[in-house]
Amino acid sequence: MWRMNEVTAIEYKDGYVYRVTFDDGVTGDVDFSEYLDYGPVFGPLRDLSYFRLARIEGGTIAWPNGADIAPETLYEKAEAAAEARSLVARDKPGSGS
């Protein structure tokens, strides 16, 4: 559950994916490809060189043209990605479970 957490770090991974870290340590790989058709402000993000210009602004990820994603939405996605990653790690042979 999101508790007004802010993005503290972003790391470009590949394609339209950034690893997003929040101030409480929640970290997850977020795929932004679903936003590319959300309206004209997100159109420039289709160009991967532009997509990679993301920065942290106002506690969330943002791009130079003003496109951004609400931090609570990112938090849910990062939390789900972290949970999925831990389930995969837990189910790997030799993981001790």
Q: What's the pLDDT tens digit per position in 38-76? A: 999 999 999 999 999 999 999 999 999 999 999 999 999
79 inside domain: yes
18 inside domain: yes
Q: Are 67 and 44 in contact (CB under 8 A)?
A: yes
96 inside domain: no
2 inside domain: no
Mean pLDDT over residues 11-15, rounded?
A: 97
Query: How many distinct structural domains can be found in the chain?
Result: 1
- Taking the CB of residue 60, how many other CB atoms lie within 10 A of it? 20
13 inside domain: yes
81 inside domain: yes
| The length of the chain, given as a count of residues | 97
68 inside domain: yes
Q: What was the pLDDT predicted at 95?
A: 54
Who contacts 44 (Cβ-Cβ below 8 Å, separation ≥6)?
50, 63, 65, 67
Residue 23: give its domain's CATH number: 3.30.2020.10
